[in-house]
Every structure is written in structure tokens, then in C-alpha cells.
Amino acid sequence: DGGITQSPKYLFRKEGQNVTLSCEQNLNHDAMYWYRQDPGQGLRLIYYSQIVNDFQKGDIAEGYSVSREKKESFPLTVTSAQKNPTAFYLCASRGTGTGAFFGQGTRLTVV
């Protein structure tokens, strides 16, 4: 059954730590996206990738990094430079003529 999987569902980070959020899709989609969602707010684009080995900054890329070594995978690293990382993170993928398909999200909390 095709889909998009994010892990872990919940993640806790200490101050000054880098953490990596996983996103895997088996939909054979070329494009993948990372969004951040804060309570009561909409989605803000962090990074997106239209093809393997290429990615572009979104509206709020500072303090984040990504890689796209495989079509199926688009991990997001939240670095220590991100001063307010507590949020709900959503990964999505898109194919030709389709809407975006979303994972179930990762809730990151700084402790």
C-alpha cells in the first residue's frame, strides 16, 4: 500500500542538540516538502525538493538542513541554530497532476 511515512511521531530535543526527522515515500513522487506548523497556525514551507540531489529553501529554512540522496527519502535535520524548534513537522510528496500527500507528522519538543 503506497504512502508516506514520518518517524518518529514524537521527538524530544535538548538545548544545543541536532535532531533528524525521517520522511520516506513509496509513491514514486519526484517532489517532496517539509512544513512547520505551530499551534493555531497554518503551514510554513521549510525546504522542498523537486528531484534527487537537488533541494531549495522555503520561507523559513534558517536553522534547518535537508538531503535528497534517494527519491524515496527526504530527511530534515533541525540544528542547534534553530532557536525555537518546538512545533509539529509535516512531510509531503507530490507527483504529476496530483495534490500533496502528507505523512502523519512529527511533534518535536525542546526539553
Partner 1 sequence: AQSVTQLDSQVPVFEEAPVELRCNYSSSVSVYLFWYVQYPNQGLQLLLKYLSGSTLVKGINGFEAEFNKSQTSFHLRKPSVHISDTAEYFCAVSDGGYGQNFVFGPGTRLSVLP
Q: Among 7, 26, 28, 104, which residue sits at the site for partner 1 (rule: CB under 8 A)?
A: 104
Dist. CA 99–CA 82, nearest whole Å? 29
11 counts as binding partner 1 under rule CB under 8 A: no
16-55: contacts with partner 1 (CB under 8 A): 30-31, 33, 41-43, 45, 48, 50
102 counts as binding partner 1 under rule CB under 8 A: yes
Phi-psi category of residue 107: left, alpha or beta, with phi > 0 → left and psi -120 to 50 → alpha: beta
- Identity of the residue, 51 or 81, whose beta carbon is nearer to partner 1 in the bound complex: 51
List the strands of the sheet with 4-7, edge to edge: 4-7, 19-25, 76-78, 64-66
51-80: contacts with partner 1 (CB under 8 A): 56, 58
